[in-house]
Amino acid sequence: MAPTEPVPTPVPAAAPTPSACDTERAGASTVMRRTPDRVAACFRLLIERPVSLYAAAVLRIGYGLLYLVFLLREFPHRDEIWGPGSPWTPALARQLFDQTGWASVLTLSDSRAYFELCYAAAVVTSALLMLGWRTRAVSVLFAIVVASFHARAIFMTDGGDNLILLMAVYLVATACGRRWSLDARRARLRSTEGPEAHRAPTAGGGVRRHLRDARLCVITVLHNCGMFVIAAQVCFLYGSAGLYKVQGGTWGNGTALHYALNLHLFQPWPALSRMADDHVILIAVACYLTVLLQVAFPFVLFGRLKYPVLSALLAMHVGIAVLMGLPLFSAAMIVADAVFLPDRFYRALGPLWRRAVERTGSRGRGASPGPEAGLVPAQSGPAGQVC
C-alpha cells in the first residue's frame, strides 16, 4: 500500500498594501460623508434656537448706557455740536447729505424747540433700550437716533461713534430683549399666570400655531444672523487694524506708542503720559503685543485661548481710555468683545452676584444687634434700676 502524501496547507494571500491614492480616496470619501452632517448641524443651529441671548442683552445694555451717558455728557454743548447754533449749520449738513446720501431727523427743521424735542427723545430712547422696554420697536428708534446724530455732525465724531452706529443697526435684527430686560420680566410674569393655557381650542388654532412657529423661526434666523454679523464685524475690525499696523515701521520698531503718548491732543493727563513714556522697554513690548493680539484675534475664538486674549484686549482698551482720553471708543470696543463670551459665563454671574450680596448682608447683620436682642427683658440691678 503506497503511503499517502501530505496535503499542503493553503497559505492565505497577503492583504494588499493600500497605496497613497487609496488613502486619499478614503479620506475624501470620509470628508464627503461628514460634510452634509456638518451642513445640517449648522442649519439646525441657525433655525432651531437663538444663540448668545445673554451676549445680545449685554450689547443692548452696554450701547444704550454708553449713548445715554454720551448725550448727558454733551448736554451743555448740544447746540454747538448738533443744534441750530452749530458752526456746521443744518443747511451745510443738507448739502453734504445730497452728496453722501446720509439723512438726519435733526435737519428736518431749524427750530430750536424741535431740536430740544429730538434731543429729549434721544435720551429717552437710549434709556428705554438699556432697560429693554418694547425692545423690538425701541431698537429701531435707537438706530435712527444714532444715525441721525452721527450724520448731523459727521466731522466731530470718532471711532467710538462709528462702532456704536454699526452695532445699533445690527441690534435691530437681534432678539436682544429676551434676557435682563423689562420685556423678559413681563414675559416671565405672563408665563406664570398662564392665561393662554386655559383657553379652549378654536377651529383656527392650528393655523395660528403654524403662523406662530413660522414667526419664531424667522425671528430666530434673524437673531442668529445678526449675532454672527456682529462677531464678524469685530473680527474684521481687529484683523484689519493689526494688518494695517504690521505695514508701519513705527509699530515694527516698537516706537508707535511713544509718538501717541506725546500727542497733545491725546493727553488728558500729561504727567501720566510722560511717566508711561519713560518705560521704553514696556512701550516696545506693548507695541508688539498689540499687533500680535489684533492679528491673532480671529484665529483664537474657537478655543480656550480666547479668554486670555480677551483679558489682554480689555487691559489694552482701559489703557487707551486712561492714557489717550478716548473712553467712548474704549467702552464701545469692550462691549463689542462681550459677544464672544458664552451664555454659561453670563449665567454663572447670577449665583456669584447673589452670593456676594448674601455675604455683604450677613456682614451687615453681624455688625448690628440681632432680632433676639429685643426679646430679652431688661434686667434690674440690686437697687431696682434698669441695667
pLDDT in tens, 3-58: 555 555 555 555 555 555 555 555 555 545 566 666 666 667 677 788 999 999 99
DSSP code of residue 69: H
Closest CA to 150 of 141, 163, 137: 163
pLDDT in tens, 138-193: 999 999 999 999 999 888 776 678 899 999 999 999 999 999 999 999 999 988 87
pLDDT in tens, 296-312: 999 998 888 899 999 99
Longest dimension (CA), the chain: 140
What does 7-26 look like in DSSP terms, one character per residue?
Answer: PPPPPPPPPPPPPHHHHHHH
Q: Cα(304)–Cα(294) distance, rounded to whole angstroms?
A: 17
Instruction: Determine phi and psi for 245, rounding to 5 degrees.
Output: -70, -35
pLDDT in tens, 205-218: 678 888 888 888 89
Determine the pLDDT at residue 374.
40
Q: Cα(271)–Cα(262) distance, rounded to whole angstroms?
A: 11
Span 221-236, average pLDDT: 94
- Residues 293, 313: contact at Cβ < 8 Å? yes
The residue that leads in pLDDT, 157 or 2, is 157
- What does the angle CA 373 – CA 379 – CA 384 come to, to the nearest 5 degrees? 155
Closest CA to 332 of 161, 144, 125, 124: 161
- Residues 258, 283: contact at Cβ < 8 Å? yes
- What is the Cα 326 distance to its own chain's centre? 19
- Joined grid coordinates for residue 324: 489717550
Span 118-144, average pLDDT: 96
Span 244-273, average pLDDT: 89
End-to-end CA distance of the chain, in Å?
A: 132
- What does the angle CA 57 – CA 58 – CA 62 come to, to the nearest 5 degrees? 120
